[in-house]
Amino acid sequence: MSNPSILILPGDGIGPEVMAEVRKVIDWYGAKRDLAFDVSEDLVGGAAYDKHGVPLADETMAKAQEVDAVLLGAVGGPKYDVLDFSVKPERGLLRLRKEMDLFANLRPAQCFDALADFSSLKKDVVAGLDIMIVRELTSGVYFGEPRGIFEEGNERVGINTQRYTESEIERAARAAFELAMKRNKKLCSMEKANVMESGILWREVVTRVGEEYPEVELSHMYADNGAMQLVRAPKQFDVIVTDNLFGDILSDCAAMLTGSLGMLPSASLGAPMANGRPKAMYEPVHGSAPDIAGQGKANPIACILSFAMALRYSFDQGDEATRLETAIEKVLADGVRTADLMGPEGGTPVSTSEMGDKIIEALDASL
């Protein structure tokens, strides 16, 4: 039986640096846990544009469709701001999401005890926080037609259309309910059914799907109230499901509850392939941070945690994912800090590669 396959797309800025630390972890699992992966690597974003003139080559897209999981670093940078919109680095990422039909974006927001003081909220509000936002990723206002900037009378008008089909809502809802079943069986759906017809349909479909999951406690909340509640009492939530636009906003709001974007992974999942695994792409939430690229200052933890999500959701290795997450928690508890995590209480400053080495040491200690 062949090994599970992974396509690594380091991308731009700090992407190659943080992905190098993921490679260390992948190699560790092959050497120490008899869990080997067939790993290939290619270009995306600005790096792909520099070589191919497009942010994602067709050959790379074909590879992404064939592997069991894609690991992506980050894309973009000021160097590419002058490019036409159609070939900006971010278009490569959007093409991957769209053509792989990655409709469910999983954005966890977990506050490690050692970093609770880094949040802008009081420690008792965020300590122990562990929530998951499921964002519908391939429809809604970012993709709806008509869209564009048009002449209307003597002025221009910008149009974007919020559009959802029942089936698009249903598959996102089902993914969220399945996730809730594996967690605390509690799901909150967020929309704007009070002012948007798409919100009314969203609520109706989620409610209908919920009838298939009687064990899950389903609640509904208007998205603006949801944003307020996330900063007032975030631990009231476990799993949140919402549309593309609100998910974009709410997940970034939840991200900052944890204190650092350098700590947050994400997963984008699609329909099951022939082998039963969902099509999947995993990436850190942070951007390409070109201002610190090549300086060894980047925090690789979000990217490594993204691989932990791959272990859990693509490779059915939940115990090994927990092993990796626990190793990271141990390193942080020991006061090991990259530059973004250095607070008033100090700690042991380390570079990007040194953080990776510390995590490997913690993994060794877990055996």
* 84 assigned to a ligand binding site: yes
Catalytic residue among 29, 192, 243, 340: 192
The reply to whether 130 belongs to the active site is: no
DSSP state letters, 160-195: EE----HHHHHHHHHHHHHHHHHTTSEEEEEE-TTT
* 82 assigned to a ligand binding site: yes
Catalytic residue among 101, 117, 130, 224: 224
* 313 assigned to a ligand binding site: no
* 299 assigned to a ligand binding site: yes
Contacts of 156 (CB under 8 A, 6+ apart): 149, 150
Angle of helix 223-232 relative to helix 244-257, nearest 10 degrees, comes to 10
Catalytic residue among 42, 68, 243, 248: 248
* 358 assigned to a ligand binding site: no
Tokens (6 digits) for 281: 């792409």
**What length is written for the chain?**
367
Q: What is the CA radius of gyration of the chain?
A: 20
Catalytic residue among 142, 185, 235, 334: 142
* 284 assigned to a ligand binding site: no
* 97 assigned to a ligand binding site: yes
Tokens (6 digits) for 274: 């022939």
Q: Closest Cα partner for 110 from 306, 342, 270?
A: 306
**Which whole-number Å values give the CA distances from 226 to 111, 190, 353, in the listed order?**
19, 7, 38
* 83 assigned to a ligand binding site: yes
* 291 assigned to a ligand binding site: yes
* 293 assigned to a ligand binding site: yes
The reply to whether 316 belongs to the active site is: no
Catalytic residue among 27, 101, 117, 252: 252
The reply to whether 142 belongs to the active site is: yes
* 250 assigned to a ligand binding site: no
* 225 assigned to a ligand binding site: no
* 87 assigned to a ligand binding site: yes
SS3 content of the chain, % helix, strand, coil (to 5): 45, 25, 30
CB atoms within 10 A of CB 296: 16
Q: Closest Cα partner for 73 from 268, 242, 304?
A: 304
* 107 assigned to a ligand binding site: yes
- Give the residue numbers of the binding site for substrate: 97, 107, 135, 224
- Give the residue numbers of the binding site: 77-90, 97, 107, 135, 224, 248, 252, 287-299
- Give the residue numbers of the binding site for NAD(+): 77-90, 287-299
Residues annotated as catalytic are 142, 192, 224, 248, 252
